[in-house]
A and B are shown apart, each in its own frame.
Chain A
Amino acid sequence: GEDVEQSLFLSVREGDSSVINCTYTDSSSTYLYWYKQEPGAGLQLLTYIFSNMDMKQDQRLTVLLNKKDKHLSLRIADTQTGDSAIYFCAEISGYSTLTFGKGTMLLVSP
């Protein structure tokens, strides 16, 4: 079945770049997503990439997709303390259901 895997924790210093990695299994996924969850809050859509692209840039965010290896990454440039949150990778599977990873907790220290 579909499964999405992420590393659970990443710690960086303010101003550094953060790279959060994800692997997925459903090669038929049309879109792949990154969501952000701040403490006590809901899932905020950050960005997404269409499966026929290999890179998408959106201000400080860069998404890289390697379809051959089923590997997705999210790079946050100039990471700020406000970026501290849990980041979820998700793929579309089935009719239109999202399958999520367990989330990567990003901790940004001053």
Chain B
Amino acid sequence: EPEVTQTPSHQVTQMGQEVILRCVPISNHLYFYWYRQILGQKVEFLVSFYNNEISEKSEIFDDQFSVERPDGSNFTLKIRSTKLEDSAMYFCASSEAGTDTQYFGPGTRLTVL
């Protein structure tokens, strides 16, 4: 069964460094999403992406964040100048055209020291 994959599973970085989290969505899906879950808190929407453009973004998704689909299979989230409060589990999701049903990857745990 096709699934969303994410790498790395765990990333440790120093405050102020840049990180890139990678996702491979399900191959025939056209809509891509990033969510995050800070430990003990709700899963929060960050951004959605379609047709090489951001469709929607939350207040969390400020200038520190960017997304890109560098090729036909990968979808990346870049966090510039990481802060301690960026420590969280980051989930990628994808959905087919014509449906709102989103399938999630296993997540990347980001730890900022």
Residues on A facing B (Cβ under 8 Å)? 30-31, 33, 35, 41-45, 48, 88, 90, 92, 94-103
Contact = CB atoms under 8 A, between A and B. Distances in A.
A11 B104 CA distance: 26
Nearest to A4: B42
Contacts of A95: 48, 55-56
Given A96-B31, A96-B55, A98-B35, A43 B104 contact: yes
Main secondary structure of the interface of B (DSSP, over half): strand
Contacts, number: 57
B91 A43 contact: yes
A92 B48 CA distance: 13
B45 interface: yes
B interface, size bucket: 20 to 34
A44 B56 CA distance: 23
Contacts of A33: 101
B53 to A, nearest CB: 12
A95 B50 CA distance: 12
B103 interface: yes
Given A96-B56, A98-B45, 9 more contacts: A43-B43, A44-B104, A45-B104, A94-B56, A95-B48, A96-B100, A98-B93, A102-B42, A103-B42
Contacts of B25: none
Contacts of B58: 97
A41 B6 CA distance: 12
19 contacts: A30-B100, A33-B101, A41-B106, A42-B4, A42-B91, A42-B105, A44-B104, A45-B101, A94-B56, A96-B31, A96-B48, A96-B95, A97-B33, A97-B45, A97-B48, A97-B56, A98-B33, A98-B35, A98-B102
Interface string B55-67: 1101000000000
